[in-house]
Amino acid sequence: MDSEQWDRRYAGSELVWTAQPNRFLVSEVSDLQPGRALDLACGEGRNTVWLAEQGWRARGVDFSSVAIEKARELAAAREVEADWEVADLSAYRPPAGAFDLVVVFYLQVPAAQRTPILAAAAAAVADGGTLLVVAHDLTNLDNGYGGPQDPTVLYRAEDVIADLADSGLMIERGERVERPVATDTGERVALDALVRARRG
């Protein structure tokens, strides 16, 4: 999907996603000392805003200007400051070594796009900093709930680890994780890929 398609999806006052942070962001980041954080493909800003609430100096980047406007509104409603930027990650190169935390949540793009984006994300991690990538796992297609149904935009932790091979980051955690989802017909389980990596 290009930015115009995402803009159309985000049109309307309702949030497409939730205002609550992703459960894996909370579990993986809560033990880190707040510093400078970069949320790539931030969407409507739920994770950026939560980071700001935890004391991070947070910046959210997405190529949907509609999503970024909703993110600004979410931050204002929650009375926190964050920086927002409309940019296409295929061309966006964040400053190297500038962030203590870089997160990429549910960026479902084909491998040819994903690999350079994750390389740029990794390069933005400062010494001692953390990169956290969470995505719909490839196996979610057959064995999990929801998510994109196009296998070319799904991936596994192993794929992310391969993308980071030359990044200089140390892989701290790389695995498939289960995410319970409440539905009208009861709880279902979505399968996500999670990679947490650290520089130094």
Ligand X SMILES: C[S@@+](CC[C@H](N)C(=O)[O-])C[C@H]1O[C@@H](n2cnc3c(N)ncnc32)[C@H](O)[C@@H]1O
Q: Applying CB under 6 A, which residues contact ligand X? A: 6, 17, 22, 41-43, 46-47, 62-64, 67, 88-90, 105-107, 109
What φ, ψ does residue 42 adopt, rounded to 5°? -75, -15
Shortest gap between Cβ of 112 and ligand X (angstroms)?
A: 12
Q: Smaller CB distance to ligand X: residue 130 or 186?
A: 130
Alpha helices in the chain (DSSP H): 3-10, 23-29, 46-53, 65-77, 111-123, 140-143, 157-163
Q: Smaller CB distance to ligand X: residue 19 or 162?
A: 19
Shortest gap between Cβ of 153 and ligand X (angstroms)?
A: 10
Q: Is 134 helix (H, G, I), strand (E, B) or coil?
A: strand
Shortest gap between Cβ of 4 and ligand X (angstroms)?
A: 10
Shortest gap between Cβ of 116 and ligand X (angstroms)?
A: 11
Strand pairing class (170-183; 186-198): antiparallel
* Rg of the chain over all Cα atoms, to the nearest angstrom: 16
Using Cβ positions, the residue closest to ligand X within the complex turns out to be 43
Q: Smaller CB distance to ligand X: residue 105 or 126?
A: 105
Residue 156 CA, distance from chain mean position? 15
Q: Smaller CB distance to ligand X: residue 35 or 148?
A: 148
